[in-house]
Structure 1
Amino acid sequence: MRRDVLLFVNPTAGRGRGARAAEPVSRVLRRAGFTVRGIVGTDADDALARLREAAAAGDTAVVAVGGDGMVGLALQAVAGTATPLGVVAAGTGNDFARAVGLPFGDPEASAAVVAEALKEERTRAVDLGRVGERWFGTVMAAGLDSRVNDRANRMRLARGRFCYNLALLAELGALRPIPFRIRLDAGPEQEVEATLVAIGNGPSYGGGMRICSEARLDDGRFDITVVGRCGRTALLRVFPRVYKGTHLDHPAVTVHRAATVRLTAPGVTGYADGEPLGALPLTAETVPEAVRVLA
């Protein structure tokens, strides 16, 4: 049984919930007999470098405390290795935890799951997506949602959900279909005008928006949701259905399944786990059982 736990903390996650969660998580794990070491960097790159060095030094487990961004960062260190990953979902979205069936919003309950799984040496092997050297656990998206993120990231006078809502209103005002080219596995390249394309390793992003609602973490392939040409009125009407996943039967929506997806479109950025990957074209591939989650 592993006795050393690396606590990977984002102190700013969930407006400070990450920092507040670290203490009760440490307490639960120490009471269970584990040695806990905190990993916090000066920025994302420094934190990841520290985590990789610490994880490579011994027989340890990594526990990410924060939201999907923190989990996504931890995946860069543990994916493809034998190091198991625990998740204390203390961010805003927590979609990876939702997909795996882990608790969120309750750090002590999450820590108890991690401690029990470590004691019983119980893990769940789940698939990940990979774009180049970048791993992701939930959804890679491009189109309207990525343009909203681009605009929100450029804003300086607003922050958080308000900033995102302002960016969304601005992008809806400029809404135009995007000429995508999509290639699934070894099939032919398809041309399609679409509002957005979401490549789901897991079912949801953005805090429970089930854009790829039938996606599974253990089937070795992505669910690809394509929202075709869609006017502002229709888009606003169908949007609330995304939270229940009932949008998939809308005439403008099509779903595909593939292990590899190449996506091309002019002037569009790809995002995964809420973080920018870079400009299209990008190729995403499924890597089966790429990480062992303490669940």
Structure 2
Amino acid sequence: MRALLVVNTAATETTSKTRDVIARALASDLKVDVAETTHRGHAAELGTQALRDGVQLVVALGGDGTVNEVVNGLLVDGPNPHVPALAVVPGGSTNVFSRALGQSRDPVEATAEILEALRRGGSRRISLGRADERWFTFTAGFGFDADVVRRVERLRGRGRVSTASLYIRAAVTQFYLDRNRWRPPITVAVPGEQAQSGFFFCVASNTSPWTYLGTRPVQLATRACFDSGLDVLALGRTGTSRMLRHAARAVRGRQPLRHASVRTVTDAREVSLHSTRPTALQVDGDYVGEQETLLLRSVPNALNVVLP
């Protein structure tokens, strides 16, 4: 089997030594080429080239951002039988997607799991989400959480290390500075239902959990999975006390609070968002930019993924 190992050595937990160990392990069963990313978007370019070259398997070694880029490169022409399968070796700080697949957090152990799965034919097609034309594997967020991601990326650009405490501090700062919290700009529209306005935060989940704080999963949609549509949570005007209650329930793995300021949608195939002003968007934990409209869609059986 022809395989391409896409390596992001800039990822938090990925080193050249890790790359070499993984490449040697994969070469025991596969005909492997290795490509390292050199710039943002490069993993997507490599994924597309693998598709064009008829490669059968692409292994992404990096964090969730690397995986997202590879997926977008593989699916540049949309889902079809000729798209290479995807395998993931965790190499980032959080690795939500690989953990949602049930993989080991250790990259060497995860590689062994991939090889064993390939020997027994352990792969399946999973649903993915789309935020306009961009694919996502586990989440897309519009508003508050995307602003937090943007804030964290700025801090990391100044040399800060990506840790759970960094995200918590960024979230607290953003919450108290966020003008959208008191003038929520987002409207949520689901086909066949009445549109509802007044939200400052909307997140779509393709699986659960939404993210991790260290080893602790954070759940915003406990029923979301790779075999169903998107689960969407939107929050309206919220004070400190209620936000703390939301956060506590998420960390404990409980359903969101039932309140007039909360909108939930389960197993959705399509959700439209509109904002009265430019609003931040994040996809799989990477900040994308600002926009005023967003179409979220679920695409079933979109990609063949190797599972442990």
| Matching residue of 1:125 | 125
Percent of paired sites with the same residue: 27
| Matching residue of 1:86 | 87
CA distance in 1, matches of 2:121, 2:73: 20
Name the SS for the 2:202 alignment partner.
strand
CA distance in 1, matches of 2:158, 2:46: 33
Name the SS for the 1:255 alignment partner.
strand
| Matching residue of 1:4 | 2
CA distance in 1, matches of 2:185, 2:46: 41
CA distance in 2, matches of 1:40, 1:290: 26
Deviation string 1:182-229 (CA, Å, 9 cap, x unpaired) is 1113433222x234211111123333322222101112x111112233
| Matching residue of 1:243 | 251
CA distance in 2, matches of 1:69, 1:181: 27
Q: 1:238 to 1:187 in 2, by over 3 A?
A: closer
CA distance in 2, matches of 1:18, 1:211: 32
Contact kept, 8 Å, 2:221 with 2:231, in 1: the verdict is yes
Q: Which of the residues 199, 218, 222 maps onto 1:209?
A: 218
Q: Which of the residues 170, 185, 195 maps onto 1:179?
A: 185
Structure 1 stretches lacking a partner, 5+ long: none
| Matching residue of 2:104 | 103
| Matching residue of 1:40 | 36
CA distance in 1, matches of 2:254, 2:141: 19
Give the alignment of 1:119-268 within 5 angstroms.
119-155=119-155, 157=158, 159=160, 160-161=162-163, 164-175=167-178, 176-177=181-182, 178-191=184-197, 193-207=198-212, 208-219=217-228, 221-251=229-259, 253-257=262-266, 258-265=268-275, 266-268=277-279
CA distance in 1, matches of 2:49, 2:282: 27
Measure how far apart 1:20 and its partner are: 4.2
Structure 2 stretches lacking a partner, 5+ long: none
CA distance in 2, matches of 1:71, 1:47: 8
Q: 1:204 to 1:18 in 2, by over 3 A?
A: farther
Measure how far apart 1:276 and its partner are: 2.8
CA distance in 1, matches of 2:246, 2:300: 32
Aligned Cα root-mean-square deviation (Å)? 2.3
Q: 1:20 to 1:284 in 2, by over 3 A?
A: farther
TM-score (norm 1): 0.88
| Matching residue of 1:270 | 281
Contact kept, 8 Å, 1:140 with 1:271, in 2: the verdict is yes
Measure how far apart 1:291 and its partner are: 0.5
Name the SS for the 2:122 alignment partner.
coil
Q: State the aligned residue count.
A: 288
Contact kept, 8 Å, 1:55 with 1:62, in 2: the verdict is no
Deviation string 1:98-130 (CA, Å, 9 cap, x unpaired) is 2222222x1122112221222333311100011
| Matching residue of 2:62 | 66
| Matching residue of 1:57 | 53
